[in-house]
Structure formats: structure tokens, C-alpha cells
A and B are shown apart, each in its own frame.
Chain A
């Protein structure tokens, strides 16, 4: 609007069609400029809902490397753009104020959490896996049949892990002789 006066709602009310000032004349600059934030997204990424196993399609809108909206993907023949309350809460999930972003460490008999660098945590865990694996190792059973395994380490994974992640877990642990590898699928 070239005329600065026209930005004043009363002026628009007097000069426009909306003489009662209850329609377009009442709109603020913010209202006039309003567009869905999804239209300002830098990219839209097709994803799948992380909650139940229906596998609804999701569209993840990203602006300035921040997720600005997650909604149903109308292209999905499974969900046709629809989501349940959990799926609809996906942005709230990934941006929850309770989410943790730092490694936490609790030493034996400790009463508080402590900080730990990620690389150090990884190294400590690797060290402990090797030791526990040796401690629980069984070469053979009572009849001399090979067992080639350890009962010193166990794992119970959630079922929100990707197939590729499960594949690596099973491959790594099997090669280490760890057999107590389980999943929510058992439960």
C-alpha cells in the first residue's frame, strides 16, 4: 500500500467496501500478511509416523534447520493424510521440553547424574562389553558341544528402531557371541 494512511484501519473502513469495519477493513498488517508457515519451509521431507504400526505417512516441514510442522502425508495410500493424536503430536514429541540432549552418567552407588563426553561414553561402554563378554563366555556345553557365546551381556530394544538399526545390532551382537538379544516384539 503506497498511501501510509491506508494502513490505518479506520481509513480503510472509510475508503473501502467494508464500511462497517467488521471485515477486511479490520485486518491488521499481520493478518494481511498471514500465510501458512508450511509455505515458507526450506524443504518438505516425507517421513513415517514413529508411533504405532499402521505406518501413516508424514510430511516434515523444515525452516532454518528447525522442524516447523509435521502433518499427514496425503500421498500415503495407507493413511491418506490423516493422523491420530499421537501422530499429530509428532512435532511436540521431537521438540518436547523434557527431551535430553546430553549424555548422562551415573557411577556405581552414585546419587546424582554426572556429565560425560559422548566419545568417552562410547569408549567406556566398548571396554565394558569386552570385559562382560569374557566374563560370561561359554565355549561349550556339558556334552562338549560348542556354544561359542556369552551370557554376560543382554539387550532389550524398542520397536521404534529402524530395520537397518536392528540389522546392525543383531549382526554385531551375534558376532560377539551375545545371544540374549531381545525386543519389544517379545512383549
Chain B
């Protein structure tokens, strides 16, 4: 669901095809019948934006029919936890939870907490109370204070299990049909197949991609899947799990070693304004139990990696040099700041927001307000040339001589022209070796940023301004050498891995210290250079290894290929079944063994129980597999770490032609709406009666730079098209192969018409609902050109992660003349 794996991850799909050939049912739930559907056991068409209703229906089915995996759920999840008396569910408040503050458009989550907790607030400082607070970093949910009250019989009316039942009680097959357009028989068949293929002997996996994340309820969507997988006992077990298929070579790495405003490397939260000093920061973030309890050693080692000798206990490890965040500084908020003239300069290394971000028109207008822009790419992309040949120039609204932005285009080196590591979608860090020297002015990002830093430091060398101490004290020596003075990527990787005072490369994050005696650029990657060997560059052929292939590249953390794999054994440490054997307790050797590196304290026996006042890993018992959570349990109910709901409700997309049949509250009350003249929303469903959704095609790559400029790919999908059903074509008088205008409050975009039965109309809430499919690869440049689908979508975001809703919005569609392509 929310993924078109065969089209967007074809080589990964080989494993799905093999599983299917071995008898595994493959179900594809998607608005369109795609190349994935064609190769699935069967396809379930669904209304875009109604996935929580569908998944909530599955939860309902599991609970009503008693199909949950009791031996797994009781010990491994928080099903038995009792929630405080003041909690009110969406069932009570018609789509809102208790604690809603309409003025702040956010929740006070105090009433969401468990009963019996001393200070039941796992969230970082300020998060538990403040509306519109920023989610902080990637910390798993922590739980401070005492153990919550539990009812192991699951009978208590306020225990999580009973709350869950009640929360989803109206998500019946009939309701699912009404909301999603999936006939109830079909829905029950899917739910039953999931149940029948889960348990001791079997596991089921759920695969998603941006079809789930690009919604105003993206995080809650994935939360619903997590609830299903916990109830069915599919987490931490081979063949189970929830797999996020990510679209770019190192997009996983880009979050691990982030270039994200709210994160430092290894999901360490960026300091907020209230984190006045190191101690305040640590007090606010360190959790009593679980892996995050050692955050102090992770952060201090990072500060040592950044500032080396300049970071000392006397100066708070240079913590004061870190910039602070106090609000949303994400890319869409920043685009608005550009429009307001607040941002002077902008770097775009390998990114093309003029095509790839929601509301391309706003993105281009924002860039036109910059003083200067640096674009680094293989090609002259739309974001570099918007002043020259953007749609607004072609349409006569602006002229090049009116645009003030100074643009530097610097050609980039290709992957064959530099060494470095990509982290793939399963956390596998794989090294790619340089094959040839980059031609002409082409340079790696490593070269550019290293030398940019070098020149800036040279220019500021004489500065006495305390604001410049941070950049001047930075350690910045990566062995630049050779004719182009290329820095060594391996030197950077060694810093990421970390070393001790003697310069010895660390073997893993367990060695990190909070006293300043270790330096480490990213704690979760520590061990990647263990024994002085680039572990990511290991290329032992798969054919010479076990099926887990642990000696191909390196997976974070600690080369674990599957996270939370302690759950592949029962509470006593024995495999749930021989068939699903993965990691188990070896009583004779008194340690965990398995096909993989156990994701657990290797010598902690299953019977271990924490003593009074235990902290960190010692606070987790021997049968608590989810070790990055403060309580070691899988969270069916999330009292913190997510801002908008402790249990996922179905909300309509921001733009929807359908009323929410479940609650008075139509859409996610916390969704981030950007009122701006350039960002109008479709208000009238009568005027915009159809649902539109964006997606990718096998033959192209995201915003198109890496495919529209490649001849052999351009010829395979040479024109922007929209997919519509024969019924919609008839309704609007659209012709196969003709042209259509897709009309929204943002304007009109034009596309070729592909009439196909693969995008069937659905019966939703008693009415026929039509959907329009829009691949978003095109722009004004390249070998194949066309309007950009993202120009039709507004900016409206998920509140937890600030991701835009481009998987469901509304539109009208009408016949149009053949447009004059730029």
C-alpha cells in the first residue's frame, strides 16, 4: 500500500516475485492498477487519501475476530498499559482527542499519558504541553518515571487494548467500503489473508513508500500499519516488518547523517532555544530506559568530532557554538521566508524544487527573491534556469531582466567520478569506488563544501568576533590531495566512525564516552571503520555467504540487518517456530545467537528483570525487544513522540470531495496550512470534484534531472500524461491521446490524455468518484518536456514531519488545445 514497488524499485521487486512464486500472496492496494498490480496476486483499487480507514478496518477485523497474536502482544507491546482517567478519544470528541487547544492548534498531551507515571512525559522539553511544538529529532518514545499501571488481563476499560478496540469500533467492513470504495468482501479477503499469514509459523510484511508519507496524516498512516504488525506479531521477525521503500540512492543516509534542520547526526535532536546549555539539553532529552539513555555520550562525542581540542569540559564541550531552532525551519517554511525576502542565499546541491516540490510556481517565485543561488548538478535543471525559461517567463508574467537573483551553476561529479557511501533503503551502507576523474569543472560535493569551508575560514581567519569562533575552531582537515585537491572520503568516514584519545578507531557506539575522551561524527554509524577497515566497502560475493549476507557492506547499527530482531524469539528466548528461526537465546553459552547480529544486549538473559532505579539498557527487561523505546515495548498507543494523535483516526485530505463519515472533524486538525496568495486551496468541491494524485514511472527518476536528460530513458516515456478512466473521459469529453487541462486554484497544467481501465471510478459514500493520475517527472528542460504535476498541488503538510500532501488533492479536468511546450 502506498507503494508501486515493481515500477519504482524493480530490482527489489525480484524478491517479491520470488516469494510469490513460492506461494506468498501479494496484495496491491492502490488507486491505480499499476505494473505492481499486474504482478500481484490481486489488486484492490482504493480512493487516494483513505488508507487509514482501510488499515483501521484491518485493526477492527483483527480485534473483533480475535486474530491477534496473544503470546506476542502481551509481553512485547503496551496493550496492557492503563491510560490516565482524563483521556478522551476521538469517539468521545467527534474527531478530536482530549487536550485540544484551538487557539494554539495543537494538543496538550498531559491527558494522553499512562496512569501511575510520576512524570509521564517522554517528550523533549516543551513538547508535552506546547501546541504546534516541534517534534524533536528521531528519538524513540521514552518514558520517564515509574512503570505505568498495567492490566495483564486486558479487561480494564482504559487499558490500551480496550481503547484500541473502542477507537476502531466503527471501522467496520461496511464503513471501509463507504470511505475507501473497496467492496467489503474484497476488504475482508485482504484482512483475512493478513491474519492467516501471520503468527508463529508465518509472517507478513507491509511495504509503503511516499504513497503514505505524502499526506497530512502521513505519520499516522504508518502508525496504523505499525499497530497491525504489532497485533499480528510481525515486527522484528524474518519476512515481517514495515518496509519503507525510499526513492533515492542515499535518502536513508540523508536522514541518518542528516541535512535536515531538526536533526544532528544519528537522530540527535537539534538544540532548541530552551536548551540553554549542555546540561539543560541533556536533562530534557535523556530517557531513563532504553538506548537513548546514553544520548550524552553520543552528543558529546559529536561535539568532539566537530571541534576536537577546542571542545573541553570547561567550555561545555563547545555546546554553545551550536545554533538553536525555535520553530519550523523546514524547506516549505523556508520557501515562504524567501518570498518575504528573509533568505539571501540558497544552496541546491542535487535538488530541483522548481519541479520536485509542491507548488512549483511558489518555489520559483521564492527563488526569484533571493540575492544569490548556488545550483550544483550534472545538468542545467529548472531550478537553475527558472529566470530564463520557467513557465512564468514562457507565459510572459516575468522577464529575465526583472529577476534579481544571481545564479552560480557548478557542474557536479557523477557517482562514477568520486568515492563515497550510499545508505540504501534497508540501512545498508554501501561504498562506491571512484572509476575516473571528474571532467572539466565537475567536482564532488565533498570537494565543494570542503573548499568552501576552507576559503570561508581563510577569509575569517583574522576575525575576533565570537560569532566566528565556531567556524574557526572547527576541525577541518580531510587530506585533500591529488591534482584537484580532492578531500578523502575515507577520512570523513573515519571521523563518522569515531576514535578515542589515542586515535584508535572505535569498534562501535558502545565505546562512546560522555567525558570527552571519544570523538564520533555519527554514533549509529560507529563501527563502520572498525579495525581500521572500511566495512562499507566489503564486497564479499553474496553467493559465498548465508542468506543474510552479513559480509556485504555494513548496516547500521552494529551491522544488524534486521532491527528489533529479539522479537523473532518468544519471551523465553526460543524461536517462535523453526520456520521463522532468526535470533534466539543460547542458554549453554549464555548469550543471544542467530543468523544476524542480535539487536539486544548479547548477554542479557530472557528472564532478566530490572531492579529499582535501573537506567538505560539495564532498565529494560530480558523480554523487552524494542530497545530504543524507553519501555522496550512496541507502542500500540503513543502517548508521545507524535504530535497529532495517540491512536490514528481517519481524516480526510485537506482537499477532498468527500465528507468525513466518521467524525465532525474533517481533516487532521494539526495539518500545516500555509495561507499565501501563491498558495490558494481548492475550497469548493463542486468546482473541483475529482481526486488527483501524483506518482512516478519506472522510466523516469523523481524530478527528472537524471532521466529527462538521458536519451535512452527519455524515449521510453516521452511526454507528460494524465491517466483517467473511460467513464471520466466520457463525462468530460476527453479523447484518448488528446490534451487535457488539469484545473485547480493554483492554475492549469496540460497533459496528454491516457484513457485506461486501470484507473477505475469508485463508489464512495454512495457516489461515483473519479480519480486523475499525474506522473510528476516533467519540467521545462531536458529531452522530453512538459508541465510539472507539482505545479497543481498546494503546500499543506503533515505536522510531525512537514511533508507535503501531494498524494491526494482535488481538481477539475477539461479538454484543451495542444499546448505550446516550452
Q: Do chains A and B touch in the complex (CB under 8 A)?
A: yes
Residues of A within 8 A of B258 (CB): 166, 170, 183, 185
Q: Report whether A170 and B265 are in contact in the complex, using a CB–CB cutoff of 8 Å.
A: yes
Which among B90-98, B413-421, B653-661 touches the partner chain? B413-421
CB contact between B323 and one of A111, A121, A174 (< 8 Å): that residue:
A174
Q: Judge whether A10 is part of the interface by a CB distance below 8 angstroms.
A: no
Is A36 on the interface with B (CB-CB < 8 A)? Answer: no
The residue among A57, A116, A125, A143 with the most chain B CB atoms within 10 A of its own CB is A125
Bound-state Cα–Cα, A128 to B474, Å: 20
A109 and B247 contacting across the interface, CB-CB below 8 Å: no
Given the interface pairs A100-B409, A102-B441, A183-B254, the reply to whether A175 lies near B470 with Cβ below 8 Å is yes
| A75 contacts B421, C-beta separation under 8 Å | no
Q: Is the CB of B428 within 8 A of A55?
A: yes
Whether A65 touches B437, Cβ cut-off 8 Å, given contacts A77-B549, A162-B422, is yes
Closest Cβ of chain B to A160, distance in Å, is 5
Residues of B within 8 A of A56 (CB): 11
Tell me, rounded to whole Å, the shortest Cβ–Cβ distance linking B384 to chain A: 8
Whether B436 lies near A62 (C-beta < 8 A) is yes
Q: B251 near A: Cβ within 8 Å?
A: yes
In Å, the complex CA distance between A170 and B435 comes to 27
Among the listed A47, A100, A116, A130, which residue makes an inter-chain contact with B408, where contact means beta carbons less than 8 Å apart? A116
Contact B449 A105 (CB under 8 A): no
Interface pair A94/B414, CB less than 8 Å apart:
yes
Q: Are A100 and B411 in contact (CB under 8 A)?
A: yes
Contacts A79-B11, A164-B489; A100 near B698 (Cβ below 8 A): no
Query: B422 near A52 (CB under 8 angstroms)?
Result: no
Flag whether B344 is at the interface (Cβ < 8 A). yes
Contact A60 B250 (CB under 8 A): no
Bound-complex Cα distance A155 to B706 (A): 20
> Contacts A154-B346, A167-B521: A148 and B320 contacting too (C-beta < 8 A)?
yes
Number of interface residues of A (CB under 8 A): 118
Please, which residues of chain B bring their CB within 8 A of the CB of A65? 436-437
In the complex, A16 has a CB within 8 A of chain B: no
Q: Which residues of A contact B405 (CB under 8 A)?
A: 106, 108
A50 at the interface (CB under 8 A from B): yes
Chain A binding site: helix, strand, loop or mixed by DSSP?
Answer: mixed
Distance between Cα atoms of A45 and B437 in the complex (Å) = 13
Asked whether, in the complex, the Cβ of A70 is within 8 Å of the Cβ of B416, the reply is yes
What per-residue 1/0 map shows which CB atoms of A176-187 lie under 8 Å from chain B? 111111111111
Is A15 close to B, CB under 8 A? no
- In the complex, are the beta carbons of B416 and A163 less than 8 A apart? no
Interface-facing stretch out of B110-118, B234-242, B348-356, B617-625: B348-356
Whether B435 pairs with A67 at a CB distance below 8 angstroms is yes
Rounded to whole angstroms, the CA-CA distance of A11 and B492 in the bound complex is 65
Does B612 make an interface contact (CB < 8 A)? no
Q: Chain A contacts of B496 at CB under 8 A? A: 163-164, 167
Q: Are B322 and A165 in contact (CB under 8 A)?
A: no
A155 cross-chain contacts in B, Cβ below 8 A: 259, 346-349
Smallest distance from the beta carbon of A64 to chain B beta carbons, Å?
A: 10
Query: Across the interface, do B425 and A54 meet the contact criterion of CB distance under 8 Å?
Result: yes
The interface stretch among B60-68, B69-77, B187-195, B537-545 is: B537-545
Closest 3 pairs between A and B when the two form their complex, measured CB to CB = A158-B350, A77-B542, A162-B420
Pairs across A and B, CB under 8 Å, 12 listed: A47-B432, A48-B249, A48-B431, A78-B552, A82-B14, A96-B711, A153-B345, A161-B259, A168-B492, A174-B306, A183-B254, A186-B801
